[in-house]
Structure 1
Amino acid sequence: MKQLQDQLGTFHTFETSPKRIISLVPSQTELLYDLGLEENIIAITKFCVHPYHLKSTKEIIGGTKNVKFDKIKALQPDIIIANKEENTLEIVEELRKICPVWVTDIVTIEDNLKMIHDFGQLFNKRTEAQKISDKINFAYADFVSFMKDKPFQRAAYFIWANPYMVAGNNTFINEMLKLNKFENIYENREERYPEIIIQKMRIQGDPDYVFLSSEPFPFNDEHAFELGRFTHHAKTVFVDGEMFSWYGSRILKAFDYFKLLQSKIQ
């Protein structure tokens, strides 16, 4: 018998470690795989693209915001892994009628390390979880040292167009921007992903860099040109959204990506 608490503070009691896992979050699917739980994953979302072969070996139960409840119920999972930002409260509450739903809440690197530790406890993969955490801590310290003498610069990180939306405060993306010494000009907005008026970018903070994420919206050169008109001197850069927004074990790849990004934009 084990009693564990998820990142929303919900207590879960298990007689044994859950064996049949459904993951509703792409980055957490990748983490479960890296913890050695491929055989235990019975279903994923259509957005769970890493590792790629899971899409052909596991059941697909819809998207992160639109899941197929009947299909999930028929699969008889022991546990469903969800996330506060990726999945709605309504979805989580409906799924709780089927089995325990473990909800993560990731904003900081510390939150990410806590999730990895929790999964190690939950699925009896403590050694594997510790190895991943040790690698992250080492890479994190190395990157902080790499950034030590670099100056802070202003940035806006766009995630959507029509309407234009950016990453704001209390987001993992904002934490990654800060780690790269970018001051997010929209950090003071109340919304986590505010809709913004691009004509006011100069007043808002006149960024040095405008980042266009590869996900969830497919930005193109026309968007880059349009946004560039409303800053004094900003460089517009297309960036890999997975590296800024995926937590779990993906962050290990992100640190190397950030070094390349820094060398490219300086």
Structure 2
Amino acid sequence: MKIISLVPSITETLFDLGLSENEIIGRTKFCIHPANRLKNVSVIGGTKNLNITKIKALKPDLIIANKEENIKEDVEELQKYFKVLVTNVSNLEDNYYLLKTLGNLLGKQEIAQKFNLKIYEILAKFSTLEKKKCAYLIWKNPYMTVGFDTFIHDILDKIGFQNIFKDHKRYPEISVEDLKTADYIFLSSEPFPFRQKHIDELQKELPDAKIFLVDGESFSWYGTRLAKCEGYFQNLVEKCQ
């Protein structure tokens, strides 16, 4: 089966499930993991600016897209010519079924189940922690955060943090004033590339807050990525003790 992945975390997942470069024939420019396996996989644009002509020329048997990461009109255009699996992952349960679906579709049921079990085993270690109030920022100018119906929110909850914006949907715009009730503020490495200078800016306005840069891939890359994050999550939790 020849597959094109339009989603960075799913590209990584396909390789983790055991597919080869001969099977994964197309990817976006944001599909960067695993770096040593991607050199010979054709780049078909970005997640939101696909090169439809190039995709058609590759003649895939399957295209894997995502409701949030790809543009609806692009997906609908591709569906006229190819089989397209449109994924939608908003929480850990969705992630479980994503891996199960891919395992069944690709004949990789056993390895998909191993990844699911590993992910639940890792997150179970944090289940008894007392929840600490936090905010997770994904953008600046304006500041944007995550609401209850996002994958990031669910992962924060699973490792012992209470999102102070849990009553909001999707990715609301917020002000510095809105952050004052957070004990911890996490500045994500993506999609906005927060750096130390951004911590310094916020710290001046919120002197009592504990502000950390965090790895956006660990929180937002669904699929197999969570199975590799045990050490990272443990270190973050320990920093927040």
- TM-score norm. by structure 1 comes to 0.86
The letter of the residue matching 1:151 is E
User: What is the aligned partner in structure 1 of residue 171 from structure 2?
Assistant: 193
Give the counterpart of 2:156 among 177, 186, 196: 177
In structure 1, C-alpha distance between the alignment counterparts of 2:230 and 2:194, rounded to whole Å: 23
In structure 2, C-alpha distance between the alignment counterparts of 1:128 and 1:34, rounded to whole Å: 9
In structure 2, C-alpha distance between the alignment counterparts of 1:230 and 1:200, rounded to whole Å: 12
In structure 2, C-alpha distance between the alignment counterparts of 1:74 and 1:229, rounded to whole Å: 53
In the alignment, structure 1 residue 217 sits paired with structure 2 residue 160: no
In the alignment, structure 1 residue 33 sits paired with structure 2 residue 25: no
SS at the partner of 2:142?
coil
Alignment of 1:1-266 (within 5 A): 19-38=1-20, 39-144=22-127, 148=128, 150-190=129-169, 192-202=170-180, 206-231=181-206, 233-266=208-241
- 1:81 Cα offset (Å): 0.4
- 1:239 Cα offset (Å): 0.5
The letter of the residue matching 1:120 is G
Is contact 1:210–1:235 with CA below 8 Å preserved after alignment?
yes
Is contact 2:196–2:213 with CA below 8 Å preserved after alignment?
no
SS at the partner of 2:224?
helix
CA spacing shift, 1:127–1:151, aligned 2, 3 Å: closer
SS at the partner of 2:35?
coil
User: What is the aligned partner in structure 2 of residue 14 from structure 1?
Assistant: none
- 1:151 Cα offset (Å): 2.3
- TM-score norm. by structure 2 comes to 0.94
- 1:165 Cα offset (Å): 1.0
- 1:225 Cα offset (Å): 2.2
Question: What are structure 2's unaligned runs of at least 5 residues?
Answer: none
SS at the partner of 1:187?
coil
**Identity of counterpart residues, as a percentage?**
49
The letter of the residue matching 2:112 is A
- 1:238 Cα offset (Å): 0.4
In structure 1, C-alpha distance between the alignment counterparts of 2:126 and 2:229, rounded to whole Å: 10
Is contact 1:46–1:55 with CA below 8 Å preserved after alignment?
no
Please give the per-residue CA displacement for 1:2-60, whole angstroms capped at 9, x wherever unaligned. xxxxxxxxxxxxxxxxx010001111111110111123100111111110023311000
- 1:116 Cα offset (Å): 0.7
The letter of the residue matching 1:195 is E
- 1:232 Cα offset (Å): 5.6
Is contact 1:117–1:130 with CA below 8 Å preserved after alignment?
yes
The letter of the residue matching 2:201 is E
The letter of the residue matching 2:238 is S
The letter of the residue matching 1:20 is K
How many pairs align?
A: 240
In structure 2, C-alpha distance between the alignment counterparts of 1:138 and 1:177, rounded to whole Å: 16
The letter of the residue matching 1:79 is L
